[in-house]
Chain A
Amino acid sequence: MIPLIVEIEALTKVYESKLRVVALDGIDLELKEGEIFGLLGPNGAGKTTTISIATTRTLPTSGTVRIAGIDVVKHPAHARRHIGVVPQFNTLDRSLTVYENLYFHCRYFAFSHSQAKARALELLGQFLLTERKDVYPAQLSGGLAQRVQIARAIAHRPTVLFLDEPSAGLDPQSRMAMWGAVEGLHKEGITVLLTTHYMEEADSLSDRLAILDYGRVLALGSPEKLKATLGAHTIFDLKLKSRDGLEPVAVAMKARPDVTNAEVTADGLRVIAATSDGLLPVLVQAAAGHGLLDLKITEPSLETVFIQLTGRDLRE
């Protein structure tokens, strides 16, 4: 059995001020060793609060979080040995160089001088930062700073890495490089919990994910499972030369058990299906008489699931 690295049970957090805010309303999550777990949700859904509590920076109102079996409220200092954090904002030590940031981080985690030095140099090499080892964080671009932050977060070889919106504010290249680094770590067996707004990223990277809103878990499972069970659909857009006599085709399509909807559009035909298995040849055949110009297939996306669950209204 794969051991559980992060166990979150009935976690609640209520901010008592003029306005009573329930940030978390009973969250239960479990992370298995070695998986990448995505936490999705609109702003204010409780993602960052969850991470803050799990990384000992916020106290829960009730409920428990255990990291590698250690209760984070009862033994925060010990739990921190197992935790690596890449926070939303750049918290690199501005008074130290890149090398020193890594070196002293290791010292904080009880490495000896030679161990810390070896580890810092190893990480500089691994993250292609060797050339910039004597640079101060203020001189780094957002993408590079993020890379240093990831290197620092894993320097003490934590059991689980928390990434709080790691791609926010990064250009596409830096984002891809960052994900490359995370996937590399994943291959080394580290457990990752990440929050993100980017649906494609959550989809392609996460082994499992949870969609959070109003402090509750709305959906939990692998991206494929979520898309399948929550009614995400494949959309076929057919661009046709002639639209004459298309109505009967649409009706015939709609009659099929695997098709949810079919309609005539300005360009031709749109078919929305629960599964795409075996439908493509049927569609091509049906469209043959109308001069098929183009066919666009939109795979079921997490975004449709997400919007379906959390609604379209804008959050603050």
Chain B
Amino acid sequence: MNNSTESRGQRSEIRDQRSEIGPGDGEAASRPGERRGLGKQLKALLGLLLRDLEVLTRDLGSRGSGKANSGKSYSGIPGSGLFVKAFLGLFLRDLRVLLREFHVFLARVGMQPLLFLFVFTFILPRMGGANLMATGGGVDFGTILLPGLMAVAIMFSGIAAVALPLSQEFGVTREIDDRVMCPLPLWAVALEKVCFSAMQSIIGALLVIPMAYYVPAAPVRVHVANWFLLALVLVLSSLLTGSLGLVIGSTVNPRQIGLVFSILVVPITFLGCVYYPWKRLGDSGLVWIQMGVLVNPIVYMSEGLRAAVTPGIPHMPWWAILLALVFFTAALGRWGLKGFLGRVLA
């Protein structure tokens, strides 16, 4: 039995070596366990992306990796290149898992904004005056909704990408023990989670834009006056929700993670100026709500995207938005990191 296993092993090794000789085929193609199907092209793209990252970090890591691989160098602390490579390794791992089920990811981030736009900006306007939401203030609802839905997409990604897997890894499987054994400071392991989640959030948010272009009955007035502001708001918002995910994932009992959605996610979404601009709360005499929601970080995400994508709609001043986003990111990041370290280190 052993002989046959070994010979088969050798054969597959030879096969893999051969595939490595040809530099033309992407990394994804030579990977085992690849399921052919929907995302084949995407995966080829990933292969190229991985290769680029590889080349990019080769120099960075060369200082540390020589020692790491030679095994028996007891002395010496390697350069920071080792940390960069370990961080990248974690990122690649997450990318691999995400891309294997990329269609699931697309459905997860796309379904909610798609249905929202479909119902509120396609179906309801056709029902005429019954829909007050769609006609308020003379601006069509789609234009108000677009930045809000982007904010929701960012938030959902942050929670789905960090909080849910983290609570599972902390829970029965204790998979986190594996990740924690990487030659990286623990804060960097947490940071990788937040960064990877931020990447998903940004993809999720950008997906909303084409939807808002095609779905609503009335055209959505998108006008990006300041690309720098848009990039800044997107990145800050994504890091903010990643940090929120870290807080939830490391503090909430895995068995009660479902509760988070009804107790936390739904309220902060509905009170997050997603479906209405913040300024109009005051105009409508609801000043107490207008002041109350200021503790809700989602408000600044919606308003920030409003300022960046649909500046025609009244919004908060950009400096207040950025200040609040930085503040909430720092506060949640700190809290989340503390929770993470508390869970990992006994």
Question: Residues of A with Cβ closer than 8 Å to B?
Answer: 3, 52, 55-59, 68-70, 75-78, 80-83, 85, 87, 89-97, 99-100, 104-105, 107-115, 117, 121, 124-125, 128, 130-131, 133-134, 152, 156-157, 159
Residues of A within 8 A of B93 (CB): 93, 96, 100, 104, 107-108
Are B13 and A107 in contact (CB-based, < 8 A)?
A: no
Are A100 and B33 in contact (CB-based, < 8 A)?
A: yes
Partner of A110, one of B6, B16, B68, B100: B68
Partner of A89, one of B2, B31, B96, B174: B174
B82 CB-CB contact with A under 8 Å: yes
Please measure, in the bound complex, the distance between the C-alpha atom of A107 and the C-alpha atom of B89, giving whole angstroms: 5
Known: A57-B180, A109-B183. A96 touches B96 (CB 8 A): yes
Known: A104-B89, A107-B89, A110-B82. A99 touches B32 (CB 8 A): yes
Known: A57-B177, A89-B174, A110-B65. A77 touches B32 (CB 8 A): no
Are A109 and B86 in contact (CB-based, < 8 A)?
A: yes
Residues of A within 8 A of B9 (CB): 124-125, 128, 130-131
Residues of A within 8 A of B182 (CB): 80, 108-109
The distance from the CB of A74 to the nearest CB of chain B, in whole angstroms, is: 11
Known: A58-B346, A69-B74, A117-B16. A100 touches B183 (CB 8 A): no
Please measure, in the bound complex, the distance between the C-alpha atom of A83 and the C-alpha atom of B345, giving whole angstroms: 17
Are A58 and B345 in contact (CB-based, < 8 A)?
A: yes
Residues of A within 8 A of B72 (CB): 157, 159
Are B65 and A133 in contact (CB-based, < 8 A)?
A: no
Residue of B nearest to A189 (CB): B72
The distance from the CB of B205 to the nearest CB of chain A, in whole angstroms, is: 24
Per DSSP, chain B at the interface is helix
Please measure, in the bound complex, the distance between the C-alpha atom of A111 and the C-alpha atom of B178, giving whole angstroms: 17
B12 CB-CB contact with A under 8 Å: yes
Please measure, in the bound complex, the distance between the C-alpha atom of A134 and the C-alpha atom of B88, giving whole angstroms: 23
Please measure, in the bound complex, the distance between the C-alpha atom of A8 and the C-alpha atom of B176, giving whole angstroms: 26
The distance from the CB of B182 to the nearest CB of chain A, in whole angstroms, is: 4
Are B89 and A77 in contact (CB-based, < 8 A)?
A: no
Are B74 and A128 in contact (CB-based, < 8 A)?
A: no
B142 CB-CB contact with A under 8 Å: no
Residues of A within 8 A of B78 (CB): 78, 81
Known: A58-B345, A77-B184, A110-B86. A93 touches B178 (CB 8 A): yes
B69 CB-CB contact with A under 8 Å: yes
The distance from the CB of A264 to the nearest CB of chain B, in whole angstroms, is: 52
Are B74 and A159 in contact (CB-based, < 8 A)?
A: yes
B71 CB-CB contact with A under 8 Å: yes
Please measure, in the bound complex, the distance between the C-alpha atom of A117 and the C-alpha atom of B69, giving whole angstroms: 13
The distance from the CB of A179 to the nearest CB of chain B, in whole angstroms, is: 17
The distance from the CB of A75 to the nearest CB of chain B, in whole angstroms, is: 7
Residues of A within 8 A of B10 (CB): 125
Residues of B within 8 A of A91 (CB): 173-178
Are B92 and A97 in contact (CB-based, < 8 A)?
A: no
User: Which B residues from 7 to 27 make CB contacts under 8 A with A?
Assistant: 8-10, 12-13, 16, 20, 27
Are B16 and A121 in contact (CB-based, < 8 A)?
A: yes
User: What are 17 A-B pairs with beta-carbon distances under 8 A?
Assistant: A3-B74, A56-B181, A57-B345, A59-B345, A69-B74, A76-B185, A77-B183, A85-B177, A92-B178, A107-B88, A108-B183, A109-B86, A109-B89, A113-B54, A124-B9, A130-B13, A157-B69
